[in-house]
Chains A and B, each alone.
Chain A
């Protein structure tokens, strides 16, 4: 089987092997003050300003509730050929994130449960399948 490569391994991992279709885990962080954020960073907490050891990595579930969707019809960047759909998701673990809806997902509407999974988006120079996070309706 072809090896797989995550497009942005600093932001997410797979729950069981980096396989296409696997449910993703998001690499978030938690501050001593209780604030949970995505992605992980050590510059400082947006809520209280604590930094360094006060901020620790915290895996976030990629399950959440859809807040909004928009299908983009016009996009200047050739690396993102339109149309594609952007979703805004309230993660069960707290943060609100925005990313791309899986191309093979059924149409979505606010209030629906969604899950982030790894989807094949192309090939690397070395022939690996490149995987990126995409959301779709929770199964």
Chain B
């Protein structure tokens, strides 16, 4: 018989840390990674030798990039593995760190994501294609923006309001790559990229690092970790794309089935969610995914956005970190940074961007391929 994560022993996030997401720079990735790991260790108030296993999420650094970071923490000989799963690399690393602890193999595990922006190389499958070299991710989502606006009789200006909200949240996040509020005119008036998408509606190119430490109850007791600041992972689900009806958006369909499974695992409904960190690499995605997760019926996302229901302090704060649009999307770190943001919010330690009374948060990432990962955390 198989079991889901929350049927194994409980697993908690006990430490979180970042190196700020930023524009590409000369900073070596080793320094980015060390900064995030040391911050997470300090947050958990534990020392490096307590970490029994490490999952390094990176998509763009190249082979075996983890040990050149970890050796500078003092080489303990603990196991180390690398996770590449496109945009969901960090979420996948977090899932497997949780599984390792929940299974009883380790008491303390680290998931760290680090990346610098390098050219993306996709494998040659041997199957030809008409024009995929002309359809980069922003054009994939420009097509979906056009479809969404036409199907729901909405305006592309309304869809751009997602960026206004997420830039406002990012302006309050010291780890965000973009920390500047933007008006709708600024968002719409920026450089045109593809279709109706403008530069400020697209995630920026950047680099950074994020780390989280997960622990069992035994580990928390043994190391004297503050259990009051530990946040439990109550659901973890990973899925990959199936064959959907012709014309159905696979990103949204895949998100729906993954989120449904995660909510069922945690025995929750969408209405129970206080916070969602989701894959808003492009504005239209936020509307697709809140509808797929079940916050509102299809096509009603704009109404919630305009009512302020998705703001910090609203019904359910979406991307209080600023999301991929403002906080940034350095690839490997992103899914781990989402977990860190939710933990900060559920602890009540998010300062000026605190969503009052937050008890339940959901983290969602999709990655090209396509894969989808959803985690639920609860205070």
Contacts and interface: CB of A to CB of B under 8 A. Distances in A.
B146 A68 contact: yes
Contacts of A35: 243
B247 A90 contact: yes
Q: Which of A10, A95, A98 has the most CB of B within 10 A?
A: A98
A41 interface: yes
A76 B353 CA distance: 36
A75 B135 CA distance: 9
Contacts of B246: 90, 94-96
Interface residues of B, number: 27
B134 A84 contact: yes
A70 B143 contact: yes
Contact of B194 (A8, A41, A74, A97): A74
Contacts of A79: 133
A133 B138 CA distance: 22
A47 interface: yes
Interface in A62-78: 67-77
Contacts of B143: 67-70, 86, 88, 98
Contacts, number: 89
A8 B136 contact: no
Interface string B130-146: 11111110110011111
Contacts of A90: 246-247
A21 interface: no
A105 interface: no
Given A46-B243, A75-B136, A98 B147 contact: no
Contacts of A8: 128, 130
A126 interface: no
B134 A74 contact: no
A68 B149 CA distance: 10
A97 B147 CA distance: 15
Nearest to A87: B143
Given A8-B128, A86-B139, A73 B193 contact: yes
A45 B247 CA distance: 18
Mostly, the B contact residues are mixed
Given A77-B133, A110-B147, A70 B243 contact: no
A67 B134 contact: no
B135 A69 contact: no
Contacts of A73: 191-194
Nearest to B199: A74
Interface in B59-91: none
Interface in B132-178: 132-136, 138-139, 142-147, 150
A26 to B, nearest CB: 9
A39 interface: yes
Nearest to B131: A99
Nearest to B196: A70
A76 to B, nearest CB: 8
13 contacts: A8-B128, A10-B128, A68-B143, A70-B139, A70-B146, A72-B194, A76-B136, A86-B142, A90-B247, A95-B246, A96-B246, A99-B134, A100-B130
Given A69-B195, A97-B130, 8 more contacts: A39-B128, A71-B194, A73-B192, A88-B143, A90-B246, A96-B247, A99-B131, A110-B150
